[in-house]
Amino acid sequence: MNSSFNKLLIFKTLITSLLIIVFSTNFLFIERVDALSDSKQLVLDAWTLVNEGFYDPEKFDEIQWKRIRQKTLQKQIETSEEAYSAIEDMLKPLEDPYTRILRPKDYELLKSSNFGSEINGVGLQLGEDDDKKIKVISTLGGSPAEEAGIVAGDFIKTVDGIETDELGLANTASKLRGQSGTKVLVEIFSESGEIREFDLERRSVDLRPVRTKRLRDDLHTIGYLRITQFSESVPKKVEEALQELKEREVEALILDLRNNSGGLVSSGIAVADSLLSEKPVVETKDRNGIKDVINSQKQTSFDGPMVTLVNKGTASASEILAGSLQDNGRSILMGEQTYGKGLIQSLKSLGEDSGIAITVASYLTPKGNDIQGQGMTPDKPLDLPEAREYGSSDDKWIKNAELFLDSLLEGQEEEISIQTSELSNEGTKS
């Protein structure tokens, strides 16, 4: 009896061991096949990068992030395009338009705009509003979009007949870019509901991120410095521009950040460092809630009176710069409420040619103000039509800034009266 029982026990143990080996082998085989699939590996790499870097890990529990990975990898994913689409679907529950897959063309264009001096397209900087509508943050100077009359605050309804609700932010931006000389049909609706249609021809848009000149009147000499975006080369170009203005003996500075939709945060911080002496520039908060204050160095490139011009197209890195200048009492902000993008993205390579942008932190101004979704309020609001060309002779915003700086340089300490009503009656050339 004991002998038969022992044999039966041995047999059952042997069968169980064989089953374990078989299932383990199959499991390992499946895992190995997936590991050898480049397209599925791309999806897994994207999931891992987001899992390790996304600024709001509490969102993962809310959307069952690990389950999303499992369900995504069970899909039939055999090509790179199928992988990109799967990653897009995987990222949607995060509800963060700035965390997004960048296909090879988009990745290359984004890198060229951050590190280069020109880009092919129509010249629109886009974002999403609270209702997921694709909104124009700003138009690039001298671009087809600017020449057509598209302005910050307009919404993109369709691109080549495809609804932007279907495309999403990244694909809308991608469809607007393309080879110089090709055309794209864009349907726009304004905040008032007016619908317009434009047949825009793509071309190479000279970003010219830093522009400067000297303004002279009967009283004083004032420098004008416009920054259109924060690419890698901007801090050095700003240093050179400020040095040139100092050599030309300017007494004050107008910093123009209108329609500057951001770019590299590090560049915006570096420019703030040129204008502030041992002051806090920005406070960042990472996924662990750890706050890190970034301070400027002692040496500055210009320490005279300043006015900074902002509008609803001023966003992201330009808001960091404007916020640091305002909170430290370094510059008056003049213009309109800014866009309100207080999130920082990190750009990661994915595979050989593609990339992924991940929101990794939020930022606060030196006084702890959260800009995300709110924007910054100017010290001196301006309710004036904007010039078609910023910094031109018909730019009334520049005239207001000059009047304010003239008053400061004259030593007037009482409240300055901005002559907006008089100037607004002069009209704007179109």
**Residue 24: exposed, middle, or buried by beta-carbon count in 10 A (0-12, 13-18, 19+)?**
exposed
Q: Hey, what are 93's tokens?
A: 């529950």
- Rounded CA separation 147/202 (Å): 12
Cβ proximity of 126 and 156 under 8 Å: yes
Q: Hey, what are 72's tokens?
A: 């995504």
Task: Note if 341 is an active site residue.
Answer: yes
User: Going by C-beta distance under 8 Å and a sequence separation of 6 or more, which residues neighbour residue 407?
Assistant: 416
Where residue 397 falls (left for φ over 0; alpha for ψ -120 to 50; beta otherwise) is alpha
Q: Pairing relation of β-strands 124-128 and 291-295? A: unpaired
- Rounded CA separation 356/101 (Å): 5
- Rounded CA separation 71/59 (Å): 18
**Residue 92: exposed, middle, or buried by beta-carbon count in 10 A (0-12, 13-18, 19+)?**
middle
Number of CB atoms found within 10 A of residue 177's CB: 19
User: What are the residues facing 15 on neighbouring strands?
Assistant: none
User: What are the residues facing 186 on neighbouring strands?
Assistant: 159, 198
Helix, strand, coil fractions of the chain, as percent rounded to 5? 40, 25, 35
Q: Pairing relation of β-strands 380-381 and 332-335? A: parallel
Please pick, among 138, 316, 318, 407, the residue that the annotation labels catalytic. Answer: 316
Task: Note if 292 is an active site residue.
Answer: no
User: Going by C-beta distance under 8 Å and a sequence separation of 6 or more, which residues neighbour residue 144?
Assistant: 122, 123, 200, 201, 202, 203, 205
Task: Note if 316 is an active site residue.
Answer: yes
Number of CB atoms found within 10 A of residue 1's CB: 5
Please pick, among 45, 256, 327, 406, the residue that the annotation labels catalytic. Answer: 327
- Rounded CA separation 344/358 (Å): 8
φ, ψ at 243 (rounded to 5°): -65, -40
- Rounded CA separation 286/78 (Å): 35
Cβ proximity of 108 and 85 under 8 Å: no
Q: Coil, strand or helix: which one is 401? A: helix
Where residue 42 falls (left for φ over 0; alpha for ψ -120 to 50; beta otherwise) is alpha
Please pick, among 40, 341, 348, 396, the residue that the annotation labels catalytic. Answer: 341
Catalytic residues: 316, 327, 341
